[in-house]
Amino acid sequence: MTFENTLAFARDFDEHDALKAYREQFHFPQVNGKDVIYFTGNSLGLQPKRTQKYVDDIMKDWRELAVEGHFYAEKPWWDYHERLARPLASVVGAKPEEVSVMNTLTVNLHFLMVSFYRPTAKRFKIICEEKAFPSDQYMLQSQVRFHGHDPANAIVAIKKRAGEHFWRTDDVLKTIKEVGDELALVLIGGVNYYNGQVFDMAEITKAGKMAGAMVGWDLAHAVGNVELKLHDWQVDFAAWCSYKYMNSGPGNASGIFVNEKYLDEVDIPRFEGWWGTKKETRFQMKPEFEPIETADAWQVSNPPVLSLAPYLASLELFDEVGMSALIQKQKKLTAYLEFILKEIDKEVESTFEIITPEARGCQLSVFLHGEGRPLFDYLMKKGVIVDWREPNVIRLAPVPFYCSYEDMYRFGHILKKGILSK
């Protein structure tokens, strides 16, 4: 594909963008009286304009119906979460019964580890990626200690090769084979938060299963960003947050996936609570737990509907557009951003190094050699919202729902001016 670093070219691409109308479906912060160029949807997605009504509906029902809203609201609260299952299953490549929404991400990983990290004297090791997101590291370490093992011995971190910024699938598969029958679990971030790399989830899952291990994925940076086929890949479990590419609001509810083959295991180890028991008998207050025959069996408490409302609003957008259309634009938009960066690099003395490999979603992580925090501060003051990671990396996520090709062009212009104005 041939690109041009001109405003006319960018605007022409926007004019022919099948998703261009969806930009108007989101609220943009403003800096200096103008909408920002927003590159941090990999941290917190913008608010869909339709979200307010979904929240207002619940507030109205609470005001007018009080406790009766559980059963007589337009969207009754007691089964509100079930409305998210079908559209969410389409996003992650699952069956609706394999998906549920509850708690927050790391809480859900802990809950799922109860079921899927069941170490024995022989099988107790966990494979993860080197320098996984800190919360995953803390979770894994605490789980291993809880089971009486030393994290230094039980956790095997796959390293990048010397001088490289990404993981090689061959190294992951080799490590799985080497750990062999000591391997209890593979748990990796499907898309790495730092460099934006998409792991080969299909191949890694297959290798982990062949080794006799459970395989799970932290999909915080993957859901709503890249193609997922959790059911077809035979993933055992997965969890994700909803406030990044899923646009559900800060710190909002998490989703989980549990493969259907575990849904009929009544005796599977699991921390259980009222909302995971069968709906038909829930209000009979039985002393025995009777699990729902879906991933909802992992729910413990009744879901917070005020948190689920923004998630449902956003999922409506995903349902309208479909992941295939979003991914098609994502690839083109990210490629144009890469082109712009390389064009600017030719015109300034600084050197940009894109550390994100070709296996990527809509994130480019860029080393700004010769530049420092002042450039980041300059971009922010000019209304370019980017993410800074020490020592000199910016993360850029051109989300296809609301970023435009003109945004990419304007960013390049501002970036060049910021470097030359030193």
- CB count, 10 Å around CB of 15? 9
**Nearest of 95, 97, 41, 93 to residue 220 by alpha carbon:** 41
Please tell me the distance from the alpha carbon of residue 43 to that of residue 294, in angstroms, as a whole number: 30
What residues pair up with 408 in beta bridges, in sequence order?
A: none
Please tell me the distance from the alpha carbon of residue 223 to that of residue 360, in angstroms, as a whole number: 13
- The per-residue pLDDT for range 326-376, each reduced to its tens digit, is 999 999 999 999 999 999 999 987 778 999 999 999 999 999 887 878 899
pLDDT bracket for residue 396 (50, 70, 90): very high
Specify whether the CB–CB gap between 310 and 55 falls below 8 A.
Answer: yes
Fold of 7-47+322-420: Aspartate Aminotransferase, domain 1 (3.90.1150)
Domain ranges of the chain: 7-47+322-420, 52-321
Please tell me the distance from the alpha carbon of residue 38 to that of residue 296, in angstroms, as a whole number: 35
Please tell me the distance from the alpha carbon of residue 306 to that of residue 310, in angstroms, as a whole number: 8
- The per-residue pLDDT for range 214-261, each reduced to its tens digit, is 999 999 999 999 999 999 999 999 999 999 999 999 999 999 999 999
Please tell me the distance from the alpha carbon of residue 375 to that of residue 386, in angstroms, as a whole number: 11
- The per-residue pLDDT for range 169-184, each reduced to its tens digit, is 999 999 999 999 999 9
Specify whether the CB–CB gap between 177 and 207 falls below 8 A.
Answer: yes
Pull the structure tokens for residue 62.
């609470």
Pull the structure tokens for residue 179.
């750990």
pTM, entire model: 0.96
CATH, domain range 52-321: 3.40.640.10
